[in-house]
A and B are shown apart, each in its own frame.
Chain A
Amino acid sequence: MSTTVNETMEIVYEKPKTLTESPTHYCPGCGHGVVHRVLMEVIDEMGIGEQTVGIAPVGCSVFAYNYMNVDMQGAAHGRASAVATGVRRVLPDKYVFSYQGDGDLAAIGTGETIHTVNRGENILMVFVNNGIYGMTGGQMAPTSLCGMVTSTTPYGRDASFIGHPLKITEMIAQLPGAYYVARHAVHTPAAVRKLKKAFKASFEFQKEKKGTCFIEVVTNCPSGWKKTPLEANEWMEKNMFPYYPLGDIKVPAAMK
Chain B
Amino acid sequence: MSTIQHDEHPKLMKGNEALAEASLRAGLQAYFGYPITPQSEILEYLTEQAPKHKDVVILQAESEIASINMVYGAAGAGARTMTTSSSPGISLMQEGISYIAASELPCLIANVQRGGPGLGTIQPAQGDYFQATKGGGHGDYHLIVLAPSSVQEMADFVFEGFRLAEEYRMPAMILTDGALGQMMEKVCLPKYGSLPKKEANWTTTGKLESRERNFITSLHMESEKMELVNLHLQDKYRKLKQEVRCELINTKDADILLVAYGLSARICGKAMEIARGKGINVGVIRPITLYPFPYEIIASFADSMRMFLTVEMNAGQMVEDVRLAVNGKSSVYFKGRMGGMIPTPEEIILEIEALAEKQRTMGQSAGYL
Residues of A that sit less than 8 Å from B by CB: 49-53, 55-56, 62-63, 65, 69-76, 79, 82-87, 89-91, 94, 111-112, 115
Are the C-beta atoms of B73 and A94 separated by less than 8 Å?
no
Looking across the interface, which residue of chain A has its beta carbon closest to that of B105? A73
The reply to whether A50 and B62 form a contact with Cβ atoms under 8 Å apart is no
- The answer on a CB contact under 8 Å between B66 and A112 is yes
Residue pairs across A and B with CB atoms within 8 Å: the count is 127
**Cβ 8 A contact of B70, one of A49, A70, A72, A86:** A86
Q: State in angstroms the CA–CA spacing of A72 and B218 once bound together.
A: 12
Shortest Cβ distance from A82 into B: residue: B69
Residue in B closest to A80 when the chains form the complex, CB atoms: B69
Find the A residue at minimum CB distance from B96. Answer: A76
Contact A90 B207 (CB under 8 A): no
Is there an interface contact between B99 and A76, defined as CB atoms closer than 8 Å?
yes
Number of interface residues of B (CB under 8 A): 39
Q: How far is the CB of B368 from chain A (nearest CB, A)?
A: 53
Which of B63, B206, B215 is the one whose CB lies under 8 Å from A94? Answer: B206
List 20 A-B residue pairs with CB atoms under 8 Å apart, sorted by A's residue number.
A49-B206, A49-B207, A50-B206, A69-B213, A71-B205, A71-B215, A75-B73, A79-B69, A82-B61, A85-B66, A85-B70, A85-B73, A89-B70, A89-B74, A90-B74, A90-B77, A91-B206, A111-B62, A111-B65, A112-B66
| A55 to B99 CA separation, bound complex (whole angstroms) | 14
How far apart sit A224 and B73, CA to CA, in the bound complex (Å)?
31
Residues 192-228 of B at the A interface (beta carbon under 8 Å):
203-209, 213-219
Tell me whether A50 and B77 are in contact (CB under 8 A).
no
**Smallest CB separation, A22 vs chain B (Å):** 12
Given contacts A69-B207, A111-B63, contact A83 B69 (CB under 8 A): yes
- Could you say which residues of chain A place their CB within 8 Å of the CB of B73? 55, 73, 75, 82-87, 90
A53 to B208, CA, bound (A): 11
Task: Flag whether B76 is at the interface (Cβ < 8 A).
Answer: yes
Starting from the known contacts A74-B218, A85-B59, A89-B74, 12 additional A-B residue pairs (CB-CB under 8 Å) come to A53-B77, A71-B204, A75-B73, A76-B69, A76-B72, A79-B72, A84-B73, A86-B75, A90-B77, A91-B206, A94-B206, A112-B66
Contact call B208/A86, Cβ cutoff below 8 A: no
Name the 5 nearest CB pairs between A and B, nearest first.
A86-B73, A86-B70, A82-B69, A83-B73, A71-B204
Flag whether B332 is at the interface (Cβ < 8 A): no
Interface centre among A50, A51, A74, A89 (most CB of B within 10 A): A89
Interface residues in chain B, defined as those with a beta carbon under 8 Å from any beta carbon in chain A = 29-30, 32, 57, 59, 61-63, 65-66, 69-79, 81, 95-96, 99, 203-209, 213-219
Partner of A91, one of B65, B205, B216: B205
Complex formed: what's the CA distance from A22 to B97 in Å?
30
CA distance A86 to B30 in the complex (A): 8
Chain B residue with Cβ nearest A86: B73
What chain B residues lie within 8 Å of A53 (beta carbons)?
77, 204-206
Cα of A218 to Cα of B218 in the assembled complex, Å: 28
A111, B62: Cα distance in complex, Å: 8
Q: Which residue of A lies closest to B63 (CB)?
A: A111
One of A74, A82, A87, A89 near B217 (C-beta < 8 A): A74
Tell me which residues across on chain A come within 8 A of B206, comparing CB atoms: 49-53, 70-71, 91, 94
In the bound complex, what is the Cα–Cα distance between A91 and B203 (angstroms)? 12
Complex Cα gap A56–B65 (Å):
17
| A79: contacting residue among B76, B77, B96, CB under 8 A | B96
Q: Please determine whether A71 and B207 come into contact, CB atoms closer than 8 angstroms.
A: yes
Say how far B105's CB is from chain A's closest CB, in angstroms: 9
Complex: A74 Cα to B66 Cα, angstroms: 15
Residue of A49, A50, A91 with most partner-chain B CB within 10 A: A91
